[in-house]
Amino acid sequence: MSMATDSRRCRELGQNANEARAFLKQAVREEELNKQEVRKLEEFISQSQGKLINLEQGLSIILASAVDLLRSLMKSKRRLPFPKPESAPEAIAQFKLIADEKAQLKEAKQLLAYRRDQLAQKRRDIPYFQGALKKNADVQRRNGC
């Protein structure tokens, strides 16, 4: 090989190494960001599930109170205080809160699955770029760069 070819080959190897280092650095940075996002989402989901349990327990209490009221009204043959289901504002409000919380929880779980996939991809990318850097360094050594 001529000196110019060796020099050009060494420059190419150096550029390849720089690109691999940049990709590796980016992959490590993205992996850390994904880890943080996964932790935040897991915490949010945990809190959301707790909130959902509390809302459902609150709804159970509201409904149990409504059943007790209906029983006592039926026994005394008095008129019902809310003729239509829409007239039970506490129960309706609680149902809406539960539906909203379930929607947020579903969205958070989907985002968590996406972030976990990305994290797994970065965990595969990092060893690949590390291997590419090692191979590049070996080739540079063999070529005397």
| Mean of the per-residue pLDDT values of the chain | 87
CB 133 within 8 A of CB 23: no
Give the confidence band of 72 by pLDDT, cuts at 50, 70, 90: confident
Return the pLDDT at 55: 95
What is the number of other CB atoms lying within 10 angstroms of the CB of residue 107?
Answer: 11
Determine what percent of the chain falls in helix, strand and coil, rounding each to the nearest 5: 90, 0, 10
Inform me whether the pLDDT recorded for 7 exceeds 80: yes
Concatenated DSSP letters for 42-82? Answer: HHHHHHHHHHHHHHHHHHHHHHHHHHHHHHHHHHHTPPPS-
Tokens at residue 82, please? 């809310």
Reduce the DSSP state of residue 92 to 3 states and report it: helix
Inform me whether the pLDDT recorded for 3 exceeds 60: no
CB 83 within 8 A of CB 71: no
Write out pLDDT tens, residues 84-140.
Answer: 656 677 888 889 999 999 999 999 999 999 999 999 999 999 999 999 899 988 988
Residue ranges per structural domain of the chain: 3-142
The class that CATH gives domain 3-142 is mainly alpha
Tell me how far apart the alpha carbons of residues 86 and 61 are, in angstroms, rounded to a whole number: 18
78 φ/ψ sector (left φ>0, alpha ψ -120 to 50, else beta): beta
